[in-house]
Structure 1
């Protein structure tokens, strides 16, 4: 017998209509925000800034401009330095005042926009490998001083090299959305809770010297994770053999895995001379020393006060139960390392640096430690004097398994606490 009666109601529920409407409005607002042009306030006139060439020279020195814009054997500030990233290979640009190949035609407003907003004179976006995310915090007076300084340099006619970006990152328009997500153009604001010295150090570290560009972890889109500022990061640079490999920048906070045992004097000495009682500058940090050695003593003390006063990175879990081959690593250490670094890791005052609670040894990423073992520390050229014997490379003497065991031992002893190192991690650094 056939069923009778009316079919069930298929009316859309009112709450579902409201949900669809709310989502549509949210999508419209979201799209309007992300697709609208990014506002760029024009700076005050250059003449009103009070900048000077002398101030700009000092800022350029401590901001490490020469290291990034001077290729090996090339003219100063003429560009061509190679930067390998996960998004492709970039080359720094000519920032001399040459009118055809440099920034000689740039107005102060265009220079200010590059530093503050990461845009070129034609309005296209600069890649954040140029650390405008940090430079945006600089005061207008300091940006004006840099402009005056670069305008005073001798022009060098050298065309910029084309970048070699992976698809689709060669499209600069995509950076519009990156900036919407991550870029803030507000100038540094002093904290009323801290001293003048601490605030000066914060300004130098966060803005001018852009320390976080290397020492702060980045997310998958290349933006700094400010919730872990200065906790240690990773980047690609040359090792002593000339090849490009990953490096790990140390934790700069006063936490257990960072600079807990460093005094303010230790930090100041390291910045000004490249060495202190606990460490000797090496690897890519040698280029940074070429910058920090120009710091005034007062500014070096300010940076030290700031780094001693930031929040410490949280302590890690004890990884000792997860480590293997520590005994093999101790044998490798005793044979090859113990003479200079001593059985207790305290380091001989003439031969080897201390390994006790060493920020490089116990960095979350072991790349820098592995590089030092494989290729040696790659110290600055003379007249730099480390005050200690120069460690030889062990890459040809030790197998990947031996290096992994040694690194794991170092990261397990002498008060260090970091994950085990595998032979595969060593192979990636070869």
Structure 2
């Protein structure tokens, strides 16, 4: 049973850097190099976001992951010997990462993304282990998971693994460039992008036939509790990243900004805590790999003429001035909606949240290129639009200017108010 990854929480982006001062000095240059490499890998895997509560000790766990099966909490991965991983040997650490097994032999829930981490190579695993063991221990007992029966029975994960989990290291493709292989390794293993951006079956496993075509996330909103978010299609489909160049993708990951949009919403912490810290060569490699994926998009029935006409009226009233009648927007007034993977995400929850509540901006600018634009102060429309008006408006946006995505229903709006 794979459990949905939490995204979009307001963590301090510099929490990991602050922790580094607590790490003991390395004994020699080789050890320093391994620890520095381990720190970089921790950034690439974005460990801090899932294992750090807002205001809590870094890597001390306790982050709730709401799912269809109940709530699971992340664990303490500091080297505390009683409540963390300080008593783990490298072989036990490797078994958790590669096989999803705890030191006592019990199965880990794959909210911990070992289906991706199993692909990490041996040298990187050793660097990760060395880095975690160099940190200051924090005593933080694990919170008890709140999973519904029978999902609370860890033994059933043996069956789940036999159906959906394949252990094995990443194998480079000899027919591809070094850059492509580096990007594939980062995307598939360390960054585990498919965990959020792929649809899942009824048992929570990623659908192998639709990888990277968009997913559904559940997260905890500080005011509203568990909420649903939609993750966009990352394939080069016209409904995904088809309109984005490799440079657009690389800049978005590294700078949180490109010619089409600026980071906000569920990607805030991914950019702030992870991808902006990667080298330009690595974010470019990730872009190269993503642009090479097979273009995939689900088929959607064309909305009715009546709904499109209703949506067009609402767009003209509320959106056309900033996003322009063409949907192309401008650098000063609003991002392009034409060809937007965000607007066309298979699940429209994130788009609905944006319109109802306004943009959720990062807690700090991810780069000097990320600038506060007028469109980032877009007002909330929850009090201005009825469920029917909002649904028609978003259906129009998702099916105009070459866009093609599922119709938004009034009940979808009501669910997220």
Determine if the TM-score, normalized by the shorter chain, exceeds 0.5: yes
Distance 1:240 1:255, change over 3 A: farther
Conserved in 1, the CA contact under 8 Å of 2:66 and 2:220?
A: no
Distance 1:246 1:168, change over 3 A: same
Are 2:167 and 1:180 equivalent residues in the alignment? no
Cα distance in 1 between the residues matched to 2:365 and 2:295? 35
Residue deviations 1:189-238 (CA, integer Å, cap 9, x gap): 11122111001000000000000000111111111112211111111124
Are 2:116 and 1:134 equivalent residues in the alignment? yes
Conserved in 2, the CA contact under 8 Å of 1:191 and 1:199?
A: yes
What SS class does the counterpart of residue 84 from structure 1 fall into? strand
Cα distance in 2 between the residues matched to 1:405 and 1:241? 27
**Which residue in 2 is equivalent to 1:274?**
256
The 5 A counterparts of 1:4-23 are none
Q: Which runs of 5+ in 2 are unaligned?
A: 1-29
Cα distance in 2 between the residues matched to 1:367 and 1:100? 40
Cα distance in 2 between the residues matched to 1:306 and 1:388? 30
Conserved in 2, the CA contact under 8 Å of 1:69 and 1:92?
A: yes
Conserved in 2, the CA contact under 8 Å of 1:408 and 1:419?
A: yes
The 5 A counterparts of 1:34-73 are 52-73=34-55
Question: What's the CA shift for 1:248?
Answer: 1.2
**Which residue in 2 is equivalent to 1:325?**
307
**Which residue in 2 is equivalent to 1:110?**
92
Question: What's the CA shift for 1:142?
Answer: 0.7
1:260 to 217, 226, 242: 242
1:246 to 224, 228, 239: 228
**Which residue in 1 is equivalent to 2:323?**
341
Are 2:121 and 1:153 equivalent residues in the alignment? no
2:390 to 403, 418, 421: 403
What SS class does the counterpart of residue 277 from structure 2 fall into? coil
1:294 to 277, 291, 298: 277
**Which residue in 2 is equivalent to 1:365?**
347
Cα distance in 1 between the residues matched to 2:51 and 2:233? 26
Question: What's the CA shift for 1:392?
Answer: 2.0
**Which residue in 2 is equivalent to 1:427?**
414
Q: Which runs of 5+ in 1 are unaligned?
A: 1-48
Cα distance in 2 between the residues matched to 1:244 and 1:75? 23
**Which residue in 2 is equivalent to 1:416?**
403
Tell me the number of residue pairs that the alignment of Structure 1 and Structure 2 aligns: 381
Question: What's the CA shift for 1:332?
Answer: 1.6
Distance 1:321 1:67, change over 3 A: closer
Distance 1:324 1:105, change over 3 A: farther
Question: What's the CA shift for 1:94?
Answer: 0.5
**Which residue in 2 is equivalent to 1:7?**
none
Greater relative CO (CA pairs within 8 A, separation 6+): 2
Residue deviations 1:286-316 (CA, integer Å, cap 9, x gap): 1111211011011011001101111111463
Distance 1:323 1:112, change over 3 A: farther
Question: What's the CA shift for 1:367?
Answer: 1.3
Are 2:377 and 1:388 equivalent residues in the alignment? no
Cα distance in 1 between the residues matched to 2:222 and 2:315? 22
**Which residue in 1 is equivalent to 2:125?**
143
**Which residue in 2 is equivalent to 1:100?**
82
